[in-house]
Amino acid sequence: MKTVIFDLDGTLADTSGDLLAAANACFRAMGEGDMLHAGDAGTALRGGRAMLRLGLSRMETPVEEDVVSRWYPVLLEEYGSAIDRHTVLYPGAMEAVEALKTAGYGVGICTNKPEALAEDLMARLGVRDAFASLIGADTLARPKPDPEPLFEAARRAGGDPAKTCLVGDSDTDRKTARAAGVPSILVTFGPSGEDMAALAPEALLHRYEDLPGVVAELL
């Protein structure tokens, strides 16, 4: 079976609001105010450590990795406690998923969000059952851009890892697909959308309504 594997943050859903809120909770606990704002959504979708580094860089303190590591678990706890307060699925995302399934493709998720948080979020959004697989950052020994999480997501979705494509929104997703030797489709409607063309993916996706046709051409 051919499969289509999706990244989560910035691809299926805009999770930036809840991620930024979790990071700002950390900065307030440090005795500072909110160091991040809506304009930092692109950094939020690159993960908790990236947000902590950016916020620390705006404080009168050196950005030290031991500080980032110390606060990262706190950020995850804060995020897990309010994971779906602001998060929304992108328009047309689930309709495209259902169209792909109807056309005979397997669909799954490969994210660098910790697996338990990804599972919780998709369940809270009411769409977990639409996906045959979900691989998180800690499901296997190494996360993306190692290709094995993508391969495993395809296998668990009942597909052939050589006959898959990855829908994502970042350089990490592009590198993952390249390492796997499969096509990448990068979305342009996320916070970093204007940067996607420079990554030279096999396809750019401007709206989810076009995804089934794009996949048919690539696979």
Catalytic status, residue 195: no
CA 92 to chain centre: 17
DSSP symbols for 132-166: SEEE-TTTSSS-TTSSHHHHHHHHHTT--GGGEEE
Q: Which of 7, 9, 14, 173 is catalytic?
A: 7
| Tokens (6 digits) for 105 | 């493709």
- Contact (CB, 8 A) for 154 and 106: yes
Largest CA distance in the chain: 55
4 forms beta bridges with 107, 165
- Contact (CB, 8 A) for 121 and 87: yes
- Contact (CB, 8 A) for 199 and 217: no
Instruction: Cite the active site residues.
Output: 7
